[in-house]
Amino acid sequence: MPGIGVAVNIVAVLAGTAIGLVFGRLISERFRAIAYSGIGLAVFVIGVAMALGGLGDLGATAIGDYSALVLVGALVVGSITGEAMRIEHYLERFGLWLQEKAYRAPMLAPGKVDQPGEKGHTLVEGFVAASLLFCVGAMTVLGSLQDGLGDPSLLYLKALLDGIASMALATTLGAGVGLSVIPILLIQGGIVLAATGVEPYITPAVVASIEAVGGALILAIGLDLAQIKRLPVGNMLPSVFLAAFLALILV
């Protein structure tokens, strides 16, 4: 049945987040801090690998040597667009609203929460970090496309990976990680519903461009988690869509 892979993916992320929240309460601040740095470094490496892999794949298409220009152009123009739209600002407002609602739940009340995700970072930062990690990449696009055409096997594998990752992220970033099921539902579910119509447009160049720019944004998340440099990743989100558009028209 089309969509079953997306449903499994959502359940895996929610289950992983719940487990991570429980373990996060059992780990002392000292160990949680070093885990936080470790996760930041791991996300950074994942971003680098994804960006370089996407660039390599994009260079192997008809775009060729211009793949770096697609990356730079998409990031610059997309970031300017996001800044003009004030995406980061509205994400922060959305996060504060979600945080206020979440804290009304007994398990997330401020008096009971003792996690860096709720102290040093807002709920929305956990949401953005997990959303980028879970929703950007070849497995997201191709897995959802196959699910829409009746083969959920690739999304089953993605669900396993996302479930494990959400445990680790929730331990340090808190409940915001679980909110990533919203973009998972919207993005992967949207591709599933539109699978037959969009399949001709999901070319190797489009997938590679999404992976390259998405990897760069995940790298930026890693910089933030490792407390090296915080970049306005929310304002950079249009870059992913612009990269896909450029790849589509240039090939």
Q: Residue 102: its pLDDT value, please?
A: 60
CB atoms within 10 A of CB 35: 17
**Mean model confidence pLDDT for the chain:** 85
Is 152 exposed, middle or buried, given 0-12, 13-18 or 19+ CB atoms closer than 10 A? buried
- Asked if 42 and 204 touch (Cβ cutoff 8 Å), the reply is no
What are φ and ψ of residue 43, in 5° steps? Answer: -65, -40
Closest CA to 249 of 70, 94, 90, 110: 70
Question: Is residue 106 scored above 60 in pLDDT?
Answer: no
Lowest model confidence (mean pLDDT) among 72-81, 88-97, 191-200, 226-235: 88-97
Residue 10 has pLDDT above 70, yes or no: yes
- The rounded distance, in Å, linking the Cα atoms of 93 and 149 is 37
Model pTM score: 0.79
Q: Over the stretch 237-247, which tens digit does the pLDDT of each residue have?
A: 999 999 999 99
d(CA 117, CA 123): 7
- Give the pLDDT of residue 187: 93
Confidence of residue 222 (pLDDT cuts 50, 70, 90): confident
Q: What is the pLDDT of residue 105?
A: 56
Statement: residue 236 has pLDDT above 60: yes
Q: What is the pLDDT of residue 123?
A: 77
Query: What does the H/E/C string look like for 78-140?
Result: HHHHHHHHCHHHHHHHHHHHHHHHHCCCHHHCCCCCCCHHHHCCCHHHHHHHHHHHHHCCHHH
What does the domain layout of the chain look like in residue ranges?
4-250
Q: Confidence class of residue 186 from pLDDT cuts 50, 70 and 90?
A: very high
With cut-offs at 50, 70 and 90, classify the pLDDT of residue 120.
Answer: very low
pLDDT value, residue 122: 61
